[in-house]
Amino acid sequence: MNFEFSEEQVMIKDSVARFVRDEYDFDTRRKIIHSEEGISRDFWNMFAELGWLSIPFAEEYGGFGGSVEDTVAMMEELGKGIVVEPYVSTVVIFGGLLAASTNEALKADSIPKIIDGSCLGSFAFLERQSRFEIADIATSAVVTDTGYVINGEKTVVFNGATADSLIVAARTSGGQYDRQGVSLFMVDAASPGVSIASYKTMDGQSASTISFKDLQVSASQLLGAVDQGMDIVDQVMPDILMALSAEALGIMATLNAITVDYSKTRQQFGTPISSFQALQHRMVDTFMACEQTKSLLYRGLCDATELAANPQLGSVELQKSVHALKATVAKSGKLIGEEAIQIHGGIGITDELNIGHYVKRLMTINVTFGDGDFHQKKFNQLSYSAL
Amino acid sequence: MDINFSAQDLAFRDEVRAFFASEYDAEVAASLSGGQGEDYKQAIISWQKKLHAKGWIAPGWPQEYGGTGWSVTQKFIYETERGAAGVPDVVPFGLKMVAPVIYNFGNEEQKARFLPRILSSDDWWCQGYSEPGAGSDLAALSTTAEYAGDNYIVNGRKIWTTFAQYADWIFCLVRTTKDVRKQQGISFLLIDMNTPGVSVKPIPTIDGKHSLNEVLFDDALVPRENLIGEQDKGWTYAKALLAHERTGMAEVADSKRMLANLKQRAAAEVNGGQPMIADPVFQMRLSDIEMELMALEYTELRVFASMASGGTPGPESSLLKIKGTEISQSIHELQLQLAAYYGGALQGELTNQQLGHEFATEARKSYMYGRAATIYGGSNEVQRNVIAKAVLGL
């Protein structure tokens, strides 16, 4: 038994950590956010050159052949720098769905473009009415002589403004809430019939409302079997949630470290505020929250490894661990973020300080693919409904 | 990362599991489940003698004194299986508290005299640390031992002494020199409970039981040969022992078993036709605990894995006691909530059938006595002070 990252994973971690430390300071990040695209193409190309964009993909597509553990190792470090380049959107989510699909032609065409940095991608799933239930889809894809025609609207498509390609979840059959009948389509964002209205999000990233008006797609753009799109989503979701949680963990560890350091230098009543027991105990609680979150992340990783080795075991344990993880990320993130602000005092609520920006990314991660209550409820259903 | 045990370790796990399954039967379990008085004492001794006969009574001891010689992994597996089987831990005062002090700091005569009788459970030990004026601030203790002739004359009061009413011996911290820094001038003394001038006064607790006591010393004569190590160096020995006490307090396996019981009980308790386990509010309370416990299980594994690979536990080890006790208290709390009206019933001689409830009395007692968990072994506030200083450098 061991919970160490492998030598290779430590190398990845170290290289991302060096990048964050040496090249991605808070001012650099601020300039990137306020640039026209809101991301740095130079850094993205550098990620490609360093091989970071290839990590989770199979070697046959030019990938590194890594596991979710490798992605997690990397995401934790990206979180420490609240890096705004769309690694999660493009590599983990868009790339993850693509890699899990059975459309070999599409994979052979698109994965190398992710890896070489030429394709940014987004997953368009959310609709006005759907909140956290991904399968709640009204956007329709109706069969035509040449393929499908898509009509509908997607909201809060993360990094939609910069996306070259979209994976669109649309309904090919069934009722609005049915899991069966959802299909995933690869769509060129520049296609006629796609209109994109973008805006900034509080975490320094961007999102879009995307409308589809009589968008023509061919059957070859289907990621897998028609109507079975949720199978792909379900398969990839644990990896996505663990990657997001790892990013959150990096943020939490950073917030804790910054806050502890600040408390040692901030003087009040003639003494550092770190000497006050009322504050010490709160910092101990945030330390424990961070460690417990890390333990659940490791639990999820171990369950994923177990499941990969013994698929006959079924995915319930992994699902429970990942729901528990995401719910705990929500709780720990709230505690750690709010304590960081409180212990900093007035400066903690200024835009100038980095604290608030870390907190806003944590808040965005919290709602991405289900907030804490949503995942706790899912956990409850899996754990208690059979008793 | 890798969560698996070796085939050898799994075989060991099966052996431990089989032993508990066959030896810890319903009768033994009943005899050890919170009885009182002489019967309870004898039940504990007889179970511990069984463990001794098997050679498993002291996994923590060096092999030369009667330890098992187990690897870190085997010790971890043993503890996990013990908790999972619902087997109570051994009474710690002799085996886990005074014995390490004796084999680390005692002389050869003391080792030969005391260790075998601790292993065989022929001597029952209790702990004389806390005093009315010295709780978390243990070094403020004021029980005195004055050296005269070949004896110390001991005067003072010890408090919160668990199972002093059963004990043959008590190990005490006593003040041998005054007017020095409070941590200096303390000595570690072993005292025969039958010594004239030693008396025990029960302290009934809110669970309605008698576990705690005051132990009073009135000119009690203690032979010099019962001093551990050097006079005035007792604090050093005690600190080593406290570190021992603070490890392994997460009790994850015990909490997992209690939680599994709780879920079964919540499935059987019905409110308005709906089992409590199906109640959305109750489910949230339950999963708040269960998710925290799932995390703690892996925190404990992380600590164990770093120890098994020869490393020292990282900062995560310091939260085991705090989280472990908070979780077990939360489980007790929900269990008592499940018992509803019945939780307040002082059942006396009534059967569960007559009372109308199966686990209410147990739930109340566990809840009440369980409050002690965040107080003993270094209160959770003191634990937070320790983490603030040692881990966060505050």
What is the C-alpha separation between A123 and A137, in angstroms, rounded? 14
Q: What is the pLDDT of residue B306?
A: 86
Q: What is the pLDDT of residue B318?
A: 76
Q: Kindly state the tokens that stand for B362.
A: 């147990």
**Which value, to the nearest 10 degrees, does the dihedral of the CA atoms of residues A266, A269, A270, A276 take?**
-60
Length in residues, chain A: 387
Subunit contact A302:B1, Cβ cutoff 8 A: yes
* Residue numbers in A near B384 (CB within 8 A): 280-281, 284-285
Q: What is the pLDDT of residue A139?
A: 98
How sure is the predictor about A54, in pLDDT bands with cuts at 50, 70 and 90? very high
How sure is the predictor about A227, in pLDDT bands with cuts at 50, 70 and 90? very high
Class of domain A7-119: mainly alpha
* Residue numbers in B near A300 (CB within 8 A): none
What is the C-alpha separation between A286 and B231, in angstroms, rounded? 42
Who among A260, A299, A321 is closest to B392 (CB)? A260
Give CATH 2.40.110.10 domain extents, chain A: 122-227
- Nearest chain B Cα to A328, which residue? B291
Per the CB < 8 A criterion, the answer to whether A19 and A40 are in contact is no
Subunit contact B291:A3, Cβ cutoff 8 A: no
Per the CB < 8 A criterion, the answer to whether B219 and B155 are in contact is yes
What is the C-alpha separation between A21 and A81, in angstroms, rounded? 8
What average pLDDT does range A219-240 have in this prediction?
97
Q: Nearest C-alpha of chain B: how many angstroms from A136?
A: 23
Per the CB < 8 A criterion, the answer to whether A344 and A259 are in contact is yes
- A336 in contact with chain B, both atoms CB, cutoff 8 A: no
Per the CB < 8 A criterion, the answer to whether B390 and B378 are in contact is no
Subunit contact B393:A260, Cβ cutoff 8 A: yes
pLDDT along chain B (394 residues), means of 10: 90 97 94 85 97 96 95 92 94 94 97 98 97 93 94 98 97 95 95 98 94 97 97 91 62 94 96 96 98 96 87 78 96 97 93 94 94 90 92 94
Q: Kindly state the tokens that stand for B375.
A: 């107080």
Q: Where are the alpha helices (DSSP H) in chain A?
A: 7-23, 26-33, 41-49, 68-80, 87, 95-100, 104-115, 229-265, 277-309, 316-344, 355-367, 372-384
Q: Report chain B's C-alpha Rg in angstroms.
A: 22
For B250-289, give the secondary structure using H, E and C: CCHHHHHHHHHHHHHHHHHCEECCEEHHHCHHHHHHHHHH
Q: What is the pLDDT of residue A114?
A: 98
Per the CB < 8 A criterion, the answer to whether B50 and B43 are in contact is no
The Cβ of residue A238 has, within 10 Å, a number of other Cβ atoms equal to 23
Concerning whether B225 is annotated as a catalytic residue, the answer is no
Residue A153 phi/psi, 5° resolution? -140, 140
Distance from chain centroid for Cα A60: 25
Q: What is the pLDDT of residue A143?
A: 97
- A319 in contact with chain B, both atoms CB, cutoff 8 A: no
Subunit contact B305:A1, Cβ cutoff 8 A: yes
pLDDT in tens, A330-339: 999 999 999 9
Who among A279, A301, A384 is closest to B1 (CB)? A301
CATH topology of domain A122-227: Butyryl-CoA Dehydrogenase, subunit A; domain 2 (2.40.110)
What is the C-alpha separation between B323 and B329, in angstroms, rounded? 10
Q: Is B382 helix (H, G, I), strand (E, B) or coil?
A: helix
- Nearest chain B Cα to A265, which residue? B394
User: Given its phi and psi angles, is residue A279 left (phi above 0), alpha (psi -120 to 50 degrees) or beta?
Assistant: alpha
The DSSP symbol for B341 reads G
- Nearest chain A Cα to B318, which residue? A288
How sure is the predictor about A387, in pLDDT bands with cuts at 50, 70 and 90? confident
Who among B287, B295, B305 is closest to A2 (CB)? B305
Q: Which of B79, B81, B245, B290 is catalytic?
A: B245
pLDDT in tens, A105-121: 999 999 999 999 999 99
Per the CB < 8 A criterion, the answer to whether A343 and A263 are in contact is yes
What average pLDDT does range A363-378 have in this prediction?
98
What average pLDDT does range A146-159 have in this prediction?
97
Q: What is the pLDDT of residue B248?
A: 61
What domains lie within chain B, and their CATH numbers? Answer: 7-90 (1.10.540.10), 124-232 (2.40.110.10), 247-390 (1.20.140.10)
- A230-384 to CATH, choices 3.40.50.300, 1.10.340.30, 3.40.190.170, 1.20.140.10: 1.20.140.10
The predicted complex's ipTM stands at 0.96
Per the CB < 8 A criterion, the answer to whether B294 and A296 are in contact is yes
Subunit contact A291:B319, Cβ cutoff 8 A: yes
Q: Kindly state the tokens that stand for A386.
A: 């059979």
What is the C-alpha separation between B33 and B22, in angstroms, rounded? 18
Give CATH 1.20.140.10 domain extents, chain A: 230-384
Per the CB < 8 A criterion, the answer to whether A275 and A267 are in contact is no
- Residues with Cβ within 8 Å of A39's Cβ and at least 6 positions away in sequence, in order, are A32, A84, A85, A86, A159, A162
